[in-house]
Structure 1
Amino acid sequence: MNNQVDQSLNTLQILAAQLRSMWEGLVSLLPNLVIAIFLIISTWIVARFATKIADRLTARTAMRPSLRELVDTLVRIAIWTVGLLIALTILLPDLTPGSLIAGLGVGTVAIGFAFQDIFENFLAGILIMVREKMRIGDYISCEGIEGKVEQILLRETHIRKLSNELTIVPNSILFKNPVEILTDLDRRRHEVVVGVSYDTDLEEARDVIRTAVESSGTTDDRKPVDIFACEFNSSSIDFKLRWWSGSAQRDMHESRDLVIRAVKRALDDANIEIPFPYVTHTFKEAIPVAAQAE
């Protein structure tokens, strides 16, 4: 019985000694803790003012809004990283800046492998924001995705399709694959193919088509209208019509509509036939084999 009481007393003494040691350590750490808290508060104030200064500086440039937000975020992260490292070294004197940096390096590598796709999209988003091409409002086409760029974020880009669905595209896809920016300039070239019958005077047909295209009211007068005879088709000789008009998708559809209707009306007025495709081929197939031999 006495041995058990002695063991209990020894245990209580050891526990009391440990609690006393912890309390003394906490009391001795209080000055460093106060300094660390003060440093964290100072870091918050500095980060806030530095972000405002960076925002004012970038507002004077031609940076896109998403890139300005990225600069503000990077400034804030940099200041908080430095402030927290200094606070940790003050709070834990045995923790040196070198060991902290080494630990951060190992941790960064491990996180990088674990979140490779996320960081890939993040870096692609930064590079997309830095380059001047592909602005918000552009119509683009990439990997079967076509639509209007609504928003460029750090990890993804929002593209509104022509049928009004929203497509969220990872930035790595837009960075690693060819992207057609249809509205990079306010004018682009459009083209259609029209065929005339073989008994048509091609010079007359070309003049009629050129007049129709130029008078359609949709072509850019500063750019030439090209009319090229391009192919001997099965039932027609085809002309390729090329002209310049607006680069937006609706402009393209409206321009093609006006040109096609104007060309059809002009050819009808000039009594120039637009053959139905493959009519000759269809007619030959309908003739019996014996008749063809005769």
Structure 2
Amino acid sequence: MINTLTDQINSIVEGTVALLPALGVAAVILVITWIVAKFGNSITHKLTGKTDLKPSLRNLAEVSVRLGIWIAGTLLAAMVVFPNFSPAGVIAGLGIGAVAIGFAFQDFFENFLSGVMIMLRDNMQVGDVIKADGIYGKVQFISLRETHIRAFSGELHVVPNSMLFKNPVEVETAEDERRFEVIVGVSYDTDLDEADKVIRAAVEKVDLVNTDKPIQVLADTFNSSSVDFRVRWWASAYRPEAVINRDKVIRSIKRSLDDAGIEIPFPYVTHTFKEKVPLKEAE
């Protein structure tokens, strides 16, 4: 038994010694691969920097170049160490284990492919304000696996790319401007045409409002204690301008209605009281 164990150890040592030259060559290949990958990444960064590509797409291009170089270098090093090794054998092996690998890394591949598709989109990029599946904030970073969204209250949401790809996403900053809307109620004894003029003039006074686009003051609803106007205007979609703009418009409307003597009534709420009837005692 001892002789068998000794023979096995000697065989392993002899095999390792025989592989040392090949291992040395493979190590040199990997070092060269690292240098080429770094150089290729630098070239890609410079070339994409001269284009109008989104930062996320530039990152995707750099990652793809690095990954391609490393795959080629690793395969070459493996062929030096293992002469019987071939890329065709790797592909065949992947075909045999594809189902197992797919199940094991389902979430990873799903997020990876979703990240690629998100980067290829024209309508969402770093800096955009989005709403998706209850998350509202500014996109800070997009990677191949996850997206970082900073809420306006300060929290950072790290979101899997598959969630953003499979669910509807509202991009508030897809355009430089967007339409805002607010509901304004006036009392029933108000002249609606006069209220229309007052509200419209109040909105036009706000410097952040784009007066080149239509301002709409639409009588919308007969409410319980008021006639409600739906007021619409266009302004910058980017925060904090969007928040300040809405605040200024509401303040201007309230001030102008007060100056014109037009009442904004409180909602009228009716309460129904039911007489409590004592329960009959059990017989």
Query: Which TM-score bucket, shorter chain as reference?
Result: 0.7 to 0.9
- Structure 1 match to 2:276: none
Question: Do residues 81 (structure 1) and 58 (structure 2) align?
Answer: no
Q: Which is worse superposed, 216-225 or 106-115?
A: 106-115
How far has the Cα of 1:248 moved from its partner?
A: 2.7
How far has the Cα of 1:107 moved from its partner?
A: 4.6
Structure with greater proportional helix content: 1
How far has the Cα of 1:214 moved from its partner?
A: 1.2
| Residue number among 230, 245, 248 corresponding to 1:255 in the alignment | 245
Please list every run of 5 or more consecutive structure 2 residues that lacks an aligned counterpart in the other structure.
274-283
| Residue number among 10, 14, 21 corresponding to 1:19 in the alignment | 10
Question: Do residues 143 (structure 1) and 133 (structure 2) align?
Answer: yes
State the TM-score, normalized to the length of structure 2: 0.84
- Structure 2 match to 1:121: 111
How far has the Cα of 1:30 moved from its partner?
A: 5.3
- 1:1-294 matches, within 5 Å, as 11=3, 15=6, 19=10, 23=14, 29=19, 32-107=22-97, 109-278=99-268, 281=270
CA offset digits 1:170-202 (Å, max 9, x no partner): 111111111111112221111111122222222
Residues 104 and 49 of structure 1: CA distance in aligned 2, closer, same or farther (over 3 Å): farther
Residues 63 and 197 of structure 1: CA distance in aligned 2, closer, same or farther (over 3 Å): same
CA offset digits 1:194-226 (Å, max 9, x no partner): 122222222122112211221233321211111
Aligned counterparts of 2:59 and 2:185: Cα–Cα separation in 1: 54
Aligned counterparts of 1:261 and 1:197: Cα–Cα separation in 2: 18
Aligned counterparts of 1:223 and 1:258: Cα–Cα separation in 2: 18
Residues 183 and 26 of structure 1: CA distance in aligned 2, closer, same or farther (over 3 Å): closer
The alignment's C-alpha RMSD in Å is 2.8
Report the count of equivalent residues: 273
Residues 23 and 81 in structure 2, CA contact (< 8 A), matched pair in contact too: yes
Residues 219 and 244 in structure 1, CA contact (< 8 A), matched pair in contact too: yes
State the TM-score, normalized to the length of structure 1: 0.81
Q: Which is worse superposed, 72-81 or 172-181?
A: 72-81
User: Quick one: percent identity of the two aligned structures?
Assistant: 52
Residues 101 and 224 of structure 1: CA distance in aligned 2, closer, same or farther (over 3 Å): same
Residues 235 and 127 of structure 1: CA distance in aligned 2, closer, same or farther (over 3 Å): same
Aligned AA (2:233): W
Residues 194 and 238 in structure 1, CA contact (< 8 A), matched pair in contact too: yes
Aligned AA (2:246): R
Please list every run of 5 or more consecutive structure 1 residues that lacks an aligned counterpart in the other structure.
1-6, 287-294
